[in-house]
Amino acid sequence: MLINIRNFLFLQGTIVSYMHDDQRFITYLQQNDHRGISQIYQLFAPKIIQMIRHNSGTPADAADVMQEALVSIYKMCSEREFVLSCPFEAFFVMVCKRKWFSMLKKRSGSPVTNSLDNGYTIEKENMEAKELADQLEREDALMRVLDTMGKTCRDIIRGCMGKDPQEKVAERLGYTYAYLRKKKSECLTQLGKLVREHPLFKL
Amino acid sequence: MQNYFEHIFDYLDGTLPPEEKHLFEAELQVNQDLRKETARQRDLQAILRKQIRAEDKIIPLNSTLTEVGDAYFKKKDRVRILRWLLPVTVAACLLVVFRFWSDPAFEKLPGMPSATQRGDRGDATYEQAVKAYNEGDYPASILHLSALAAAEEPPARYTYYLGLSYLGKKEYAAAARELREVAEGKSVFAPDACYFLGVAFWKTKQNVEAGAYLERVPQSSSYYEKAQKLNKRLRP
């Protein structure tokens, strides 16, 4: 089996990660590349539409699911260091499938008529795609949990995790720097507890 | 440093004084729970930082996704509509062509026999009228036939062909006026006049009147079948 050595990432002479050729799809999202994103739709939309139509959905549902999935993927892979180690298709289809399953559950009147694995059985997807999709789901869940917190904690966490220095965040929110740091610790502790209770999120 | 767990955030923020940092790191080596919790908070904050910082770029990305997605899905819709529309359009065209072919020419006028054909002597005006009518020169035939019909008690055929000339000229009200006179009379032209009167009313969308005269066309008339067809079409 021939393997392209350029795809391996090395750290002090040790292979730490393998970059799949489909990394370009991640780059298209990171760079908001119109032509590249069109390519993603051309290549993968037919399969997503087929999977969703097979499970009580419409092409319009497929459009929503695809957009939501691509935004989630972008958020997870937004840092340039992110390395895709599996085929993008396997990862993308799995993310879309899970998002559609979640939407179906919310629509009480729309029972799942077929197995979501029809046509895209787990055997076809590699385990790395599954691990990535699991990670994406956990990250989505974390952000949803954050949104359930009180406004003060939300503002403090969002402010402190942003690009601005904490002194500036304190000033913007009208707190002293010391109070902001104290509240930030409390809010992050509370968030940690909430997340631990979430079935998806086990760091 | 009494409670190490209270200092996890300061340690991760890099704000612990050097001495306390040293103590904290020493504790990390031996305290598994502290190590676990520190790692958990580090991962949690890394995700939060990444997700929250990515949000700044979500608006332009969403805009691109909406644009590309709309273009892709609308194109698919257009293809789907075309796939559906094409056979329907072809069927509609075939139907129109079929109807065109199968429709009798309701307005087709009969020829006007000359006096010689009829065995009459006739006069020059009548022959000019015949010539003009048969050549489709309806203004001229109207001129000659009007002169002939102006006589006292003119033969019904003058009025009949005058009515047909108006029909040929698409002056339906005048055609109806002349043809009604013949249709209501007792001449041999009356049944055919009923048919053409029906046509004149049909052309002016007076379907009730058209139907009434078409129904009066007797089976013996050569226009009976056409009258039936046109009458059927007029019914809602």
The residue of chain A with its CA nearest to that of B42 is A203
Q: Do B66 and A67 touch (CB under 8 A)?
A: yes
Q: Which two tokens stand for residue B77?
A: 């819709």
Q: Do residue B54 and residue A41 have CB atoms under 8 angstroms apart?
A: no
Picking from A29, A45, A71, the nearest residue to B72 by CB comes out as A45
Interface of A with B in 91-120 (CB under 8 A): none
Q: Mutate which of B37, B41, B64, B80 to test chain A, going by most A C-beta atoms within 10 A?
A: B64
Q: Which residues of B touch A166 (CB under 8 A)?
A: 13
Q: What is the pLDDT along chain A (203 residues), one digit of tens a residue?
A: 344 545 555 445 555 567 888 999 999 999 999 999 999 999 999 999 999 999 989 999 999 999 999 999 999 999 888 999 899 999 999 999 999 998 988 886 555 444 454 444 545 457 889 999 999 999 999 999 999 999 999 999 999 999 999 999 999 999 999 999 999 999 999 999 999 888 876 54
Rounded-to-5 percentages of helix, strand, coil across chain B: 75, 0, 25
Cα(B47)–Cα(B32) distance, integer angstroms: 23
Question: Does B222 lie at the interface with A, CB-CB under 8 angstroms?
Answer: no
Q: Do A142 and B51 touch (CB under 8 A)?
A: yes
Helix axes A23-30, A34-53, angle to 10 degrees: 110
Dig out the tokens for B119 from the structure.
């065995």
| Binary contact (B39, A203; C-beta < 8 A) | yes
Q: Distance between CA atoms of A80 and A162, rounded to whole angstroms?
A: 17
B60 in contact with A, Cβ within 8 Å: yes
pLDDT at residue number A179: 94
pLDDT at position A119: 47
Regarding an ipTM greater than 0.95, the answer is: no
Q: How far is B88 from chain A (nearest CA, A)?
A: 23
Residue in chain A nearest B6 by alpha carbon = A185
Burial class, B88, CB count within 10 angstroms (exposed 0-12 / middle 13-18 / buried 19+)? exposed
- Higher-confidence position of B225 and B116: B225
CB count within 10 Å of CB B99 equals 10
Q: What is the pLDDT of residues A100-120, one digit of tens each?
A: 998 988 886 555 444 454 444
Residue of B nearest to A185 (CA): B9
Please check whether residue A158 touches B, CB under 8 A: yes
CA distance B61 to chain A (A): 6
Q: Which two tokens stand for residue B146?
A: 């009007």
Contact A85, A135 (CB under 8 A): no
Its pTM surpasses 0.80: no
| CB-closest option in B10, B13, B54 to A74 | B54
Contact A161 B53 (CB under 8 A): yes
